[in-house]
Amino acid sequence: MSKRSYFTKPLFHFLLLGGLLFFAQNALLDARTAPEASLLISAADIESIEKDWRLLTGAPPSTEERARLIEQRIDDEILIEEAIRLGWHLTDPVIQDRLIRNVRFIQPESQETDAALLRQARDMGMDRSDLVVRRRLIERMKMLISTRARAMEPSEQELNSYYQEHAQAYQVPEKIELTQLYLSQDLRGDSLQRDANALLQDLLRAQTLPTSVSERGDPFLHPRHFPLSSKQKYAARFGDSFAKLAFEETDSTWAGPIPSSYGLHLIWIHDRSAPYTPTLDEIRSSLLRDIQSAKERALLTQTLKEYREYWVIQIEDSRP
């Protein structure tokens, strides 16, 4: 294939355009020379922040939560304004569609063109006030910053250092495999404990194996047999108390009764695996993913810190 024919291929044009847009956007991110504008977090903004928090949690924010929420609003407003500086409120198809729909909803009889409706939406400030548009602008800015972070491939030395520092977080916990027999609190009432003790003695006396208990116990929504699973997984199914006591029992015999939120259980532990720390190569992909996420968070924090240098931020806060 000749050079001339390669350069006329649509794929080449697409990749070239994508590359130019990427570098242009990154250049615009860095194109800061002096403060440009002020940012006001009004008393009404803070009231709205507190109201949203109460609706979400059912309680007013604490002093620390309130301060954090205000800082988050400042970050969001800066990201929105920076996205607008990049022109995304004018070119993003999702935003354009949203703004046009908004105006058509307000003016269902309008015969205006889409371009005219977009101008009306911007004149009404929808490109800054509409919640969907705001989220879109914020996420696009975060994605752009994340893309810059992903371009910084971690070195082998960095990978080793991260592994040494965080190896404990990747430890594989102890696991047990068990069979359980369930006795229902609802069905047995006051006789529950007595019935469980009697069943345990019967199983031990007859040396009954887990493979021969299909007719014993009460109907239960969970299976009788569980493969090797961590204490956390058992706790999620049966509660913390069940998980703690189960891991303390002896293997290869019937034990219990162990309480759960459902009733009582007799258990037989078939197998147990000790906790261990995997090697770097075993968790290489997880390490790379986690390093990348850490870099993205760090770069977002650093970028927002740099942006703040170019904004005069005012907060109308009645609290000291």
Least confident range of 113-127, 155-169, 205-219, 306-320: 306-320
- Please state, in angstroms and rounded to a whole number, the distance separating the CA atoms of residues 49 and 68: 11
So what's the pLDDT on residue 17? 41
Mean pLDDT of 43-69: 92
Residue 35's alpha-carbon distances to 70, 83, 88, 221, in angstroms, are 21, 16, 21, 63
**Which of 21-30, 171-180, 276-285 shows the lowest per-residue confidence on average (mean pLDDT)?**
21-30
Classify 70 as helix, strand or coil.
helix
Res 32 pLDDT > 80: no
280 burial (CB, 10 Å; 0-12 / 13-18 / 19+) is middle
273 and 202 Cβ atoms separated by less than 8 Å: no
Single-letter amino acid code for the residue at 233: K
- Hey, what are 216's tokens? 């014993």
* Cα angle 213, 216, 221; round to 5: 100
> Rounded to the nearest 10 degrees, what angle do helices 63-85 and 284-308 cross at?
80
Residue closest to 292 by CA, chosen among 153, 168, 139: 153
Higher pLDDT, 9 or 274: 274
pLDDT tens, residue by residue, 249-265: 889 999 989 999 889 99
Share of the chain above pLDDT 90, in %: 52
Is 90 exceeded by the pLDDT of residue 49?
yes
Residue with tokens 């794929």: 11
For residue 75, the tally of other CB atoms under 10 A from its CB is 17
Rounded to an integer, what distance in angstroms lies between the CA atom of residue 124 and that of residue 244?
Answer: 60
- Amino acid found at 306: E
What pLDDT, in 10s, does the model give residues 261-309? 889 999 999 999 999 999 999 999 999 999 999 899 999 999 999 998 8
CB of 84 closer than 8 Å to CB of 127: yes
Token digits of residue 249? 């029992």
- Are the C-beta atoms of residues 35 and 311 closer than 8 Å to each other? yes
Tell whether the model's pLDDT for residue 10 goes beyond 70.
no
Range 309-320 average pLDDT: 81
Return the CA Rg of the chain. 30
Peptide bond into 257 cis (omega under 30): yes
Residue 43: pLDDT over 60: yes
For range 98-117, the mean pLDDT? 88
Pairing of strands 225-230, 311-315: unpaired
Helical H runs in 112-261? Answer: 114-123, 126-129, 131-150, 156-166, 185-188, 192-206, 231-238, 240-246
The sign of the CA dihedral 59, 65, 67, 73 is negative
The per-residue pLDDT for range 222-243, each reduced to its tens digit, is 888 999 999 999 999 999 999 9
Mean pLDDT of the chain: 85
pTM over cut 0.85: no
Take residue 273 and report the two structure tokens written for it: 């695996």
In terms of C-beta distances under 8 Å and separation of at least 24 residues, what long-range contacts does 92-101 make, across chains too? 92/136, 92/137, 92/140, 94/136, 95/127, 95/133, 95/136, 95/137, 98/130, 98/132, 98/133, 98/136, 99/126, 99/127, 99/130, 99/133
Residues in the chain: 320
Q: Is the pLDDT of residue 138 over 50?
A: yes
CA 35 to chain centroid: 34
Choose among 101, 137, 140, 93: nearest CA to 120: 101
Confidence of residue 35 (pLDDT cuts 50, 70, 90): low
